[in-house]
Chain A
Amino acid sequence: MKPGQSEPIIVVEHLRAEFGDNLVFKDVSFQVKRGEIFVILGGSGCGKTTLLKHIVGLYRPTAGRVLVHGVDIVKQDQKLMQQVRMETGMLFQAGALFGSMTLAENISLPLQKYTDLSPKMIDLIVKMKLGLVNLSGYENHLPEEISGGMKKRAGLARAMSLDPSILFFDEPSAGLDPISAVELDMLIKSLNAGLGTTMVIVTHELQSIFLIADRIIMLDKEAKGIIAEGDPRFLKDHATDPRVIHFFNRQPMTD
């Protein structure tokens, strides 16, 4: 129930990122289409999370543009940024739930800030979001009272509280057992299918990628940019770049 799926919802153009003398990205450009599950892939230290933080506006690039819903977030126009924030949600690696608040309070926080809904409706929405991530009944639990996997799901419920059109995930499977990781992947897929939300996921879990990704970009530390882009299943069988082949075959590069 979302508008056309072929138009780009995120556009990254010639992004260059430097931290002091450390050049992380030379020239990165790609597009994310509306409604797709887009994965940013790569080995440890290649800058996956750094790229994600540039896309959500936590870091400002040295050069280049990042358009989210057509808004150039590099310019950091406060009014527009607030509108972009309402259209995006992010699930952090460890959930990043506020420890002093219950799950319900965590999830209702954006609803209270950005809407004028009645407390009753907010309460209903919170319970519905918890239901969507299979945490019904946990609204009065504190984050410390639930497991790591549940924290991630609760974090996802909070990220979804405003029904954003784009959801960002930073290593969603990290630290989860294989079953919980697959369950989370399936949840992401079902939410994407049901709600049509665009998902941008940073991960290096190959199993996850083949299960959920529509399209990927692969980053490389040495190349300081993208070395492959496309359907992961196609790339696995047809990639010619040895770095991509080694990654998909789970083999270390040797000289």
Chain B
Amino acid sequence: MKTRLSAKNSFSLNTELQANGDRKILLAGHFGLQEVETFEKALPQQPLPTPAHTSLDLGGLEFLDSAGALALLDLADRIKAGGGSCSLTNVPAKAQDIINLINLEEVKRTPLIGGGKKTDFVSQIGDGFLDFVQDVDNVVSFTGELLIDLVATCFNPRLVRWSDVLLYMRRAGVEGLPIISLIALLLGLILAFMSSLQLQQFGANIYVASLLAIAMVKELGPIMTAILVAGRSGSAFAAEIGTMKVNEEVDALTVMGMDPMYFLTLPKVIASMIVVPLLTIYADLLGIVGGLIVGVGLLDLTVFSYIQETKRILTVFDFTSSFVKSVVFAFLISAIGCQRGFQVRGGAAAVGTATTSAVVSAIFLIIVVDSVFAIVLTYIPR
């Protein structure tokens, strides 16, 4: 422990055994929190061997604080618990005031509620499952409510604050462009380079273009963009709404007669559903550009032949499915972000949990929905 600025007088503890078997413990000097450590080490923690009587002589004390007073009372209590008797003698008036403040019965009282109870493994699994079911229920009802409100907005656009929609389009879309550009371009470069290592062996360099185009447009573009948006914007939505919940701003909206769903959720969802598909198409094209750089730079392909091969392999259906997928992803990311935000109860830690949960749940849903799309799109006739 550090030396305290207020500790000016040294502490001393002396034990004297009297002729009649009684014990006298003399305390002198400064007896505060710092000295309690010394006191604890000097005296055993368990019930003390009990002479007929122990007296704690405080006559030499020049300073006592509440921790020191507690240590004295606890010692006296332990001596009594061991069957002995104990008294405080020569107590200075000021020290008595401090001792009077402490109620040892209250200190030893059982807490009103138990501390972090430990449940067995089976109960934990059961609790976890029930939490999961409750969570699914919450997400489904929130999504349902959101869809109804979205439809209502189509019939009455004035329900939504369009200035907020523009704001979130800028935040989720424009401000996300640099990172999406970088990742998409690098992904295109890496994918083209790695596939060329295999295709070169068969003299099938030209198929790098078709492989990359199909991979980027059908899968990687939508998924990568969605995951980036979930990390950037989904988490931001959860944190924003969560903090508003903590600060009672959401309650204020409700009290003012404004539906938080229209005021907070819909602008974010609509903005995401507009910008994420655009970001996806942009990412698809930049990925193809990345492939083009590798094709022209390393595989001796011409720009024209690369583009021709890309055009040959891609259909309008591919772009449409990529577009539709990204709209659904955008809806899921923004909806889950907002829902997690509304779930916040408590303080800063709950906001952190909601933010993490928003990202994890969004990524999970993106993968699940993408699998569904993969199956459905396979069976759609073109």
| A residues neighboring B (CB under 8 Å) | 1-3, 69-71, 82-84, 86-87, 98-100, 102, 104, 114-118, 120-121, 124-125, 127-129, 131-132, 136-144, 160, 162-163, 165, 190-191, 193-196
Nearest to B65 among chain A residues (CB) is A163
Which residues on the A side are within 8 Å of B94 (C-beta)? 1-2, 196
The verdict on A83 contacting B2 (CB below 8 Å), with A2-B63, A125-B70, A143-B347 known, is yes
Which residues on the A side are within 8 Å of B100 (C-beta)? 194
The listed residue with most B CB atoms (<10 A of its CB), out of A118, A120, A128, A132, is A128
Which residues on the A side are within 8 Å of B33 (C-beta)? 115, 117, 125, 162-163
B1 and A3 contacting across the interface, CB-CB below 8 Å:
no
B40 and A163 contacting across the interface, CB-CB below 8 Å:
no
Which residues on the A side are within 8 Å of B98 (C-beta)? 1, 194-195
Q: CA A71 – CA B349 in complex, angstroms? A: 36
Which residues on the B side are within 8 Å of A191 (C-beta)? 101
Q: CA A191 – CA B112 in complex, angstroms? A: 25
B97 and A163 contacting across the interface, CB-CB below 8 Å:
no
Nearest to B352 among chain A residues (CB) is A100
Q: CA A69 – CA B344 in complex, angstroms? A: 43
| B residues neighboring A (CB under 8 Å) | 1-6, 8, 32-34, 36-37, 40, 45, 61-67, 70-71, 74, 92, 94-95, 97-98, 100-103, 106-116, 345-350
A99 and B36 contacting across the interface, CB-CB below 8 Å:
no
A195 and B5 contacting across the interface, CB-CB below 8 Å:
no
Which residues on the B side are within 8 Å of A1 (C-beta)? 61, 63-65, 92, 94-95, 97-98
Nearest to A1 among chain B residues (CB) is B94
Nearest to B96 among chain A residues (CB) is A1
A128 and B70 contacting across the interface, CB-CB below 8 Å:
yes
A140 and B346 contacting across the interface, CB-CB below 8 Å:
no
A99 and B92 contacting across the interface, CB-CB below 8 Å:
no
B36 and A117 contacting across the interface, CB-CB below 8 Å:
yes
Q: CA A129 – CA B1 in complex, angstroms? A: 20
Q: CA A70 – CA B6 in complex, angstroms? A: 11
Distance of A228 from chain B, by nearest CB (Å) = 31
The verdict on A115 contacting B95 (CB below 8 Å), with A121-B36, A127-B108 known, is no
The 6 closest A-B pairs by CB, nearest first: A99-B347, A100-B349, A1-B94, A163-B65, A131-B106, A137-B112
A83 and B115 contacting across the interface, CB-CB below 8 Å:
no
The verdict on A87 contacting B4 (CB below 8 Å), with A99-B349, A117-B37, A131-B107 known, is yes
Q: CA A100 – CA B351 in complex, angstroms? A: 11
The verdict on A139 contacting B111 (CB below 8 Å), with A87-B5, A125-B70, A194-B97 known, is yes
Which residues on the A side are within 8 Å of B61 (C-beta)? 1
The verdict on A137 contacting B109 (CB below 8 Å), with A144-B345, A195-B66 known, is yes
Nearest to B4 among chain A residues (CB) is A86
Q: CA A241 – CA B4 in complex, angstroms? A: 42
The listed residue with most B CB atoms (<10 A of its CB), out of A1, A83, A100, A121, is A1
B67 and A163 contacting across the interface, CB-CB below 8 Å:
yes
Which residues on the B side are within 8 Å of A142 (C-beta)? 346
Of the residues A121, A137, A195, contact of B40 by C-beta under 8 Å: A121
Q: CA A193 – CA B97 in complex, angstroms? A: 8
A87 and B111 contacting across the interface, CB-CB below 8 Å:
no
B97 and A141 contacting across the interface, CB-CB below 8 Å:
no
Of the residues A127, A140, A162, contact of B114 by C-beta under 8 Å: A140
A141 and B346 contacting across the interface, CB-CB below 8 Å:
no
A-B contact pairs, 18 of them (CB 8 A): A3-B8, A69-B5, A83-B4, A87-B5, A99-B348, A115-B34, A117-B33, A118-B40, A125-B33, A127-B107, A132-B66, A136-B106, A137-B111, A138-B112, A162-B33, A163-B33, A195-B65, A195-B101
Which residues on the A side are within 8 Å of B107 (C-beta)? 124, 127-128, 131, 136
The verdict on A194 contacting B113 (CB below 8 Å), with A71-B5, A117-B37, A163-B33 known, is no
Which residues on the B side are within 8 Å of A125 (C-beta)? 33, 67, 70
The verdict on A132 contacting B101 (CB below 8 Å), with A120-B45, A124-B107, A140-B115 known, is yes
Beyond A140-B116, A162-B33: 8 further Cβ-contacts under 8 Å? Answer: A1-B98, A70-B5, A71-B5, A98-B347, A115-B37, A127-B109, A137-B111, A144-B345
Distance of A140 from chain B, by nearest CB (Å) = 4
The listed residue with most A CB atoms (<10 A of its CB), out of B63, B92, B111, B348, is B111
Nearest to B71 among chain A residues (CB) is A121
Which residues on the B side are within 8 Å of A194 (C-beta)? 97-98, 100-101
Which residues on the A side are within 8 Å of B92 (C-beta)? 1
Q: CA A100 – CA B246 in complex, angstroms? A: 14
Which residues on the B side are within 8 Å of A102 (C-beta)? 115
Nearest to B107 among chain A residues (CB) is A127
Which residues on the A side are within 8 Å of B2 (C-beta)? 82-83, 86, 114
Distance of B369 from chain A, by nearest CB (Å) = 33
A163 and B66 contacting across the interface, CB-CB below 8 Å:
yes
Nearest to A134 among chain B residues (CB) is B106
Which residues on the B side are within 8 Å of A83 (C-beta)? 2-5
Q: CA A195 – CA B350 in complex, angstroms? A: 37
Distance of B113 from chain A, by nearest CB (Å) = 5
Nearest to B108 among chain A residues (CB) is A127
Which residues on the A side are within 8 Å of B63 (C-beta)? 1-3
Distance of B123 from chain A, by nearest CB (Å) = 20
Which residues on the A side are within 8 Å of B113 (C-beta)? 140-141
Q: CA A50 – CA B114 in complex, angstroms? A: 40
